Amino acid sequence: MTLILNNEEIQHALSAEDCLEVMEEAYREQASSQAVNRPTSHSYLAHSLPQATYSFKSVDGGVRKFGVLALRITSDIVQEKNVNNSVRLEKLPLAGTGKFLGLVQLFSVETGELLAIMPDGLIQQTRVGVTSALGAKVLARPDSEVLGLIGSGGQARAHFRYLTSVRPIKRVKIFSPNSDHRKAFAAQMERETEIPTEPVGSAEAAVKDSDVVCTATNSSRPVFNAKLLEPGMHYNAIREFEMDEAALERCDVVAIHTRFGGIQHHLPPGLDRDLPGVRREKPRDWSRYPEISDLLVGRAPSRTSDRQVTLFLNNVGTGVQFAAMGYCAYRAAKEKGLGHEVPTDWFLQDIKP
């Protein structure tokens, strides 16, 4: 049988403890050559809306110990917008009745069968937040108590939950450009976690005197000046676009998510420029930085002083993350009797592919 899950069932199935444990195990398996990744691929076509593009994204990865490989796909309409003097890339909810399409398909590496199909929404936010939290676990000071969080969307919510699960955070400061959003977000997260949470009026106020700083935004430009980073801080960025380039040199210890490939961009031949919404990473040599898996297995040094400034850049997503969180959701859902099962035969055939 193939298990079909929705986001509500996934949320009920997942626990912070399980997610952190499974993801860390996946990176340890990766470090011992027992996991596989394929670079993320984006294919684009022009769209009828202004400054908009159709984008199809796919990435896959597997973990031998878990016995699964996951394929994550999204079918999106993306549009460039100017918001508060910042260029942002927004996904438009044009599918169905104002919704999005993103799926994680989980396959058995023993039989090749399709084990599960689930939306990617909560899995996507969780895999990034959990990876960032593991970065903080090995790089932030153990006594870190103040979190400065820039962002108030789904990624910010996941990072709030998981960063506060690995460090004894007693106070959180929230900034996002929309005053109403940050106030509502702060109130919601304080109710949910019982951690005192304060909306602040600027990115500078969020960074100042924080032990851990996290940017979790969809900004195409740096959201604060790296000069604001103070001795002893740990900084986490979920994409290089939102990070001041100077942070790479300013920080004493820098680690990245992966040195494995970059995003492969595919456009119709003959175009003399990118379509709107195509974000190309700056060419750089990632080999000079250790990966999160290197730190977790002790192949690279972590923080050695309370005065050091550390940085974890969640630079590129990988399929192994979806394999780990997809497996975690599938296992927990099966144990709790969640989801709906359909015959696996629906997806099989007697014609050799």
Question: Concatenated DSSP letters for 246-274?
Answer: THHHH-SEEEES--S---EEE--TT-SSP
Q: Residue 85 pLDDT > 70, yes or no? A: no
Reading phi first (left if > 0) and then psi (alpha if -120 to 50, else beta), residue 13 is in alpha
The pLDDT score that the predictor gives to residue 105 is 98
What mean pLDDT do residues 234-261 have? 93
Return the residue matching tokens 């032990």: 211
For 284, other C-beta atoms within 10 Å of its C-beta total 13
Calpha distance 133→164 (Å, rounded): 8
Calpha distance 226→315 (Å, rounded): 17
With H, G, I as helix, E, B as strand and everything else as coil, classify residue 289.
Answer: coil
Q: Residue 234 in contact with residue 310, Cβ under 8 Å? A: yes
Q: Which is higher by pLDDT, 283 or 267? A: 267
Tell me, what amino acid is at 96? Answer: G
Structure tokens at 331: 């296992």
Among 21, 13, 34, 37, CA closest to 318: 37
Tell me, what amino acid is at 28? Answer: R
**Sequence-ordered list of residues with C-beta below 8 angstroms from that of 342, at least 6 positions apart, any chain:** 1, 2, 4
Q: Residue 110 in contact with residue 93, Cβ under 8 Å? A: no
Structure tokens at 339: 């989801």
- Domain regions of the chain by residue span: 2-123+319-347, 131-313
For 268, other C-beta atoms within 10 Å of its C-beta total 10
For 111, other C-beta atoms within 10 Å of its C-beta total 10
pLDDT tens profile 13-38: 999 999 999 999 999 999 999 999 99
CATH number assigned to the domain covering 131-313: 3.40.50.720
Q: Whole-model pTM?
A: 0.94
Least confident of 32-41, 131-140, 276-285, 319-328: 276-285
- Percent of the residues in the chain that have a pLDDT greater than 90, as a whole number: 89
pLDDT tens profile 154-207: 999 999 999 999 999 999 999 999 999 999 999 999 999 999 999 999 999 999
Which stretches does DSSP call E strand in 109-183? 114-119, 146-150, 171-175
DSSP 207: H
The CATH class for the domain spanning 2-123+319-347 reads alpha beta
One fold for 2-123+319-347 and 131-313:
no
Among 48, 90, 123, CA closest to 217: 90
